[in-house]
Amino acid sequence: MTSRWLFRVLGLWVIALTWSLSAWAGLPDTVLRVKPSVVLVGTFKSTDNPRFQLRGAGFLVAGGDLVVTNAHVLPSSGAGLSEMASLVVHVRGGAGDWQMRSASVLEVDAARDLALMRIDGQPGPSLKIGDSRRVKEGDSLAFMGFPIGGVLGFSHVTHRATVSSITSAALPSPSAERLKEQAIRSLRSGTFDIFQLDATAYPGNSGGPLFDPDTGDVVGVMNMVLIKGTRESALSQPSGISYAVPSRYVQELVDRHR
């Protein structure tokens, strides 16, 4: 009886291990395909040191001249961007070097913290926007960006993540005084679902793609601010949980500017 029980446990363990390995089997090849489409978003000013200031990540979509990122990654228009610095995007060239491109903002979805830009010059390889409505809790995904880019350098970094929850983006605080501006905006515009991930992301990941490890299709946009100002405002010590805005809202944004 004991031997039979042990064999069953061992069999289940082997099945679980096989499933886990198969979930990531295609990731190395997918990373190679995704990397050229993930870009640096920041500002450039010739008198600054360094002249380029990284603000976050982004990724190319549609014809390769449109860039998706977080709205909070963009410099504040009230800060006088034209006097301070230029909005730029760095795209990987064919030789692997970073090429700076001027960028212009096409649209900002402040409620969902999304932004769409157009870059000058030669289009780059674009990523396909997948159907985020097919994402389920427990799915294995991956995300790419430039965590703490100013310190670690501008190299693409990929992390694995499991969708631990699909949850509401807005959670009202018990007291009105504790509601952040972002939370109020989300509540007014109507709440929406967001992906909660069991991985730690850093500021340089904001705006980067959350993608299927096999196909490379984008199913979300990494975000380190939207929930930090709403759901986690109720926590005295915010966790290392990361979040992503579903790609269905990205598709709506892109469709308006094709």
Give the H/E segment covering residue 27. helix 27-34
pLDDT of residue 130: 98
pLDDT of residue 96: 79
Residues in the chain: 258
d(CA 182, CA 205) in angstroms, rounded, equals 19
Residue of higher predicted confidence among 148 and 238: 148
**Helix (H/G/I), strand (E/B), else coil: 153:** coil
pLDDT value at 238 more than 50 = no
Q: What average pLDDT does the structure give for the chain?
A: 81
Kindly report, residue by residue over 124-173, the tens digit of the pLDDT.
999 999 999 999 999 999 999 998 776 667 899 999 999 999 988 764 44
Least confident of 9-13, 89-93, 190-194: 9-13
Tell me if 84 sits within 8 A of 48, measured CB to CB. Answer: no
Kindly give, in sequence order, each residue whose CB lies less than 8 Å from that of residue 196, ignoring residues fewer than 6 positions away. 163, 164, 165, 166, 167, 241, 242, 243
Q: What is the model's pTM? A: 0.80
Most confident of the following: 44-48, 137-141, 203-207: 137-141
**Helix (H/G/I), strand (E/B), else coil: 31:** helix
What pLDDT band is residue 57 in, cutting at 50, 70 and 90? Answer: very high
pLDDT of residue 71: 94
| Cα separations in angstroms, 257 against 29, 149, 161, 165, 251 | 31, 30, 31, 31, 10
d(CA 227, CA 250) in angstroms, rounded, equals 18
Side chain identity, residue 214 = D
Least confident of 80-94, 99-113, 208-222, 243-257: 80-94
Kindly give, in sequence order, each residue whose CB lies less than 8 Å from that of residue 163, ignoring residues fewer than 6 positions away. 135, 136, 137, 138, 139, 141, 195, 196, 197
Question: What are the structural domains of the chain?
Answer: 35-119 (2.40.10.10), 132-255 (2.40.10.10)
How confident is the model over 109-132, as a mean pLDDT?
95
Tell me if 243 sits within 8 A of 227, measured CB to CB. Answer: yes
pLDDT value at 20 more than 50 = no
The DSSP code sequence of 220-249 is EEEESSTTTTTGGGG-SS--S-EEEEETHH
Tell me if 204 sits within 8 A of 148, measured CB to CB. Answer: yes
Tell me if 211 sits within 8 A of 142, measured CB to CB. Answer: yes
pLDDT value at 94 more than 60 = yes
Percent of the chain with pLDDT strictly greater than 90? 55
